[in-house]
Amino acid sequence: MKKSKFDIFISRNIYIKVQVILLIMFIIFVVSCAKIETDGMNLEEHTIIKENKENYRLTYKEMIEDYDKFWYMLEENVPFALAAAENRGKNVKYLRNYYRNKIKKDTRGQEFIDIMIECTNEFNSSAHLRVLPNEIRNVFLQYSKIGNFVNDPKSQILYNTLDLSVNRMNDYFPNEIDISGFECIDESIYAYISKNDNVAYIRFEDFYEQRERVSNFINFYKKITDYDNLIIDVRNNPGGNTDVWKNCVVSLLSLEDIQYEIYAIFNTGQNTSLHYIDYNPNNFRTEITEEDWIYNTEYFNDTYEQNYGGKSIITKSVSTVKRNERSINYQGKIWLLIDEKSFSAADAFSYFCKLTKFATIVGTPSRGNGVTTIEGLICFYTFQNSGMIVRYFPFMGFNTDGSSNVERGDIPDVYTEEDALKVCLELIRKEN
């Protein structure tokens, strides 16, 4: 059977463009939350003075200072990042020494930045930790409220001189999904049906652009109102914006408003403050809590206490997904397919489904980091010497069993290492 556009592997160039679109879509949502560390800079005293790549210089002392500051930032501001990395099989002490030793007295500017990118990527499964790419920085430049942050003099020289492009930093791309046996009825939103099984299927390769296509989703849902089963596939989905699955899935299918809770640890470090907890976007609020159930779970043990001590705060966030007045009031059963590449907003959707019983989850544990986002709050840290900017989320979320979402991801209701779609269809046939 000839492959549709849906079945074709997403190219690197397309994915890069999608990342930029993500940032454009929720940039306004983020800017009010950004807090920047600049350390009182004086450009005239700094050694980065030339915009020629070959002559770009940082002293050895400056590079080491920025490198050590990065680790201090991790320990102080990013909850559970180091412990989660250890629990995922990484030797944090080794990594710290390894990358520090890669910095030599003759290391040039681009080499140093490449070392920092490589080092931060070791923790990219924790709190969305990442060196800010140039393409995304350029998006921020369009917004005056955040212009002072990205227009830092040292950052200007760094980003205008060296290569900090998206494609240098991202090694994660979706894979092809086999949906043979389904008939495509809306290729723009990857919507399919199987008339023989009375099953509808919709795939989200990511959660970026689709919220602009609400009408397309409504048209599809109207066609499947009488279908007994709807399968939503977020395997290999790297995330994006939680508004997509809220506005294009839940609100258009649900019978009523759905409220759910998120519990997380927040570090009151040098670059974070309690004002993040006070940030409450529409249909979302966060407060400090001391609810006993977290402390009484088997996962809240010495590991947590050792990593947080007295500087950590447990927060409770309450979010509400409003039913759209055009909802089809879907009465059938909803299934969600996840895997180890379901990340960020895709993991957040899985968490929502598990907590609210909105869907039965099939597959392997997700990659996590959906509960950590706390509706998109982002911190930025600007390094004093190089002007390099690192982004991270200041929360570490708990799964429903009290385990770390960063470390374990979300656990499916039906665990299978086989093709989750095939397993799901078998379950549907058995139920019928």
Residue spans per domain, the chain? 5-168, 183-373+393-431
CATH class name, domain 183-373+393-431: alpha beta
Q: Which residue has the higher pLDDT, 89 or 385?
A: 385
Q: What is residue 419's predicted lDDT score, i.e. its pLDDT?
A: 95
Q: What is the mean pLDDT of the chain?
A: 77
252, 243 in Cβ contact below 8 A?
A: no
- 34-58 pLDDT, tens per residue? 433 433 333 333 343 344 555 567 8
* 371 and 351 Cβ atoms separated by less than 8 Å: yes
User: Pick the residue with more confidence: 33 or 149?
Assistant: 149
- The Cα–Cα gap between 13 and 413 comes to 35
pLDDT attached to residue 47: 40
Confidence of residue 332 (pLDDT cuts 50, 70, 90): very high
Q: For the residues 213-225, what does the mean pLDDT come to?
A: 92
- Please report, rounded to a whole number, the percentage of residues in the chain having pLDDT higher than 90: 36
Q: Given pLDDT bands bounded at 50, 70 and 90, which one contains residue 425?
A: very high
Which of 9-18, 264-273, 315-324, 420-429 ranks highest by mean pLDDT?
A: 420-429
**208 pLDDT exceeds 50?**
yes
Q: What average pLDDT does range 173-178 have in this prediction?
A: 69
* Listed residue (125, 133, 110, 116) closest to 19, CA to CA: 133
Beta pairing partners, 267: 312
* Residue with the larger pLDDT of the pair 53 and 357: 357
> What's the pLDDT at 63?
96
Q: Of 408, 283, 428, 432, which is closest to residue 350 (Cα–Cα)? A: 408
- Is pLDDT of 172 > 70? no
What is the rounded average pLDDT of the residues 108-128?
85
Could you tell me the pLDDT band of residue 129, with boundaries at 50, 70 and 90? confident
Of the candidate ranges 93-107, 166-180, 345-359, 390-404, the one whose mean pLDDT is the lowest: 166-180
Question: Residue 86 burial by CB count (10 A; 0-12/13-18/19+): exposed, middle or buried?
Answer: middle
pLDDT at 339 over 50: yes
Give the C-alpha separation, 403 to 82, whole Å: 16
Model confidence at 76: pLDDT above 50:
yes
Which single residue is written with the structure tokens 């991202």? 170
What secondary structure, in 3-state letters, does the chain show? CCCCHHHCCCCHHHHHHHHHHHHHHHHHHHHCCCCCCCCCCCHHHCCCCCCCHHHCCCCHHHHHHHHHHHHHHHHHHCCCHHHHHHHCCCCHHHHHHHHHHHCCCCCCHHHHHHHHHHHHHCCCCCCCCEECCHHHHHHHCCCHHHHHHHCCHHHHHHHHHCCCCHHHCCCCCCCCCCCCCCEEEEHHHCEEEECCCCEEEEECCCECCHHHHHHHHHHHHHHCCCCCEEEEECCCCCCECHHHHHHHHHHHHCCCCEEEEEEEEEECCCCCCHHHCCCCCCCEEEEECCCHHHHCCCCCCHHHHHHHHHHEEEEEEEEEECCCCCCCCCCCEEEEEECCCCECHHHHHHHHHHHHCCCEEEECCCCECCCCCCCCCCEEEECCCCCCEEEECCEEEECCCCCEHHHHCCCCCEECCCCHHHHHHHHHHHHC
Across 373-396, average pLDDT: 79
Residue of higher predicted confidence among 394 and 183: 183
Residue-wise pLDDT for 276-321, tens only, equals 555 555 555 666 666 666 666 666 654 555 554 446 677 888 889 9
Residue 73 pLDDT more than 70? yes
Query: Rounded to an integer, what is the distance from CA 84 to the centroid of its chain?
Result: 16
Whole-number pLDDT of residue 421: 95
